[in-house]
C-alpha cells in the first residue's frame, strides 16, 4: 500500500480523541461518477487525511486517517457514494500504522 508508514496501532489515543487508520477497496459503478472528487470533499470536511485513487480493475482504493468517528462516517459515506454511483461493496481493513499525510488527496 502506498504511503504506509510507521507510528502506532490501528486505533490510538491522542489526548481525549481516538485515532483510526483504514484501507478501503470500493467496488461497483464507482469510476466516472465523481466518486473520488466527492470523497475528497467529504473527507476534508470530516478532517481526515489520506488519499483516494482509481484502480485498473474498476474499483476505487483509499486510505483514511483521523478521529474514529470521522473515519467511521467516511466509511458509511463510501458505502453510498455520490449520486450516479452504484456501490456494490466496501472492504475495510484497519491499518496497524498511522501514515502521515498532508490533507486528503486524489492520486493517480
DSSP string, 13-81: EETTEEEEEEEEEEEEE-SSSSHHHHHHHHHHHTT-EEEEEE-TTS-EEEEEEEEHHHHHHHHHHHHH-
Instruction: Pick the catalytic residue from 29, 36, 59, 79.
Output: 36
pLDDT tops 80 at residue 88: yes
Q: Is residue 17 assigned to a domain?
A: yes
4 catalytic? Reply is no
CATH of the domain at 15: 3.30.70.100
36 is known as an active-site residue: yes
Given the residues 45, 54, 79, 86, select the one marked as catalytic.
Answer: 54
pLDDT above 90 covers what percent of the chain? 81
User: Is 103 part of a structural domain of the chain?
Assistant: no
pTM attached to this predicted model: 0.85
Range of the domain at 23: 11-98
Q: 2 pLDDT band (50/70/90 cuts)?
A: very low
Domain count of the fold of the chain: 1
pLDDT tens sequence across 35-79: 999 999 999 999 999 999 999 999 999 999 999 999 999 999 999
- 42 versus 10: the higher-pLDDT residue is 42
Start-to-end Cα distance in the chain: 14
Amino acid at each position: 500500500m502506498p504511503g504506509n508508514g510507521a507510528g502506532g496501532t490501528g486505533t490510538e489515543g491522542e489526548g481525549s480523541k481516538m485515532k483510526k487508520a483504514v484501507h478501503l477497496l470500493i467496488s461497483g459503478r464507482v469510476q466516472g461518477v465523481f466518486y473520488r472528487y466527492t470523497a475528497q470533499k467529504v473527507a476534508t470536511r470530516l478532517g481526515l487525511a489520506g488519499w483516494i485513487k482509481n484502480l485498473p480493475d474498476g474499483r476505487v482504493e483509499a486510505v483514511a486517517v483521523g478521529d474514529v468517528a470521522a473515519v467511521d462516517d467516511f466509511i458509511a459515506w463510501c458505502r453510498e457514494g455520490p449520486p450516479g454511483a452504484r456501490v456494490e461493496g466496501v472492504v475495510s481493513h484497519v491499518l496497524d500504522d498511522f501514515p502521515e499525510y498532508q490533507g486528503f488527496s486524489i492520486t493517480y
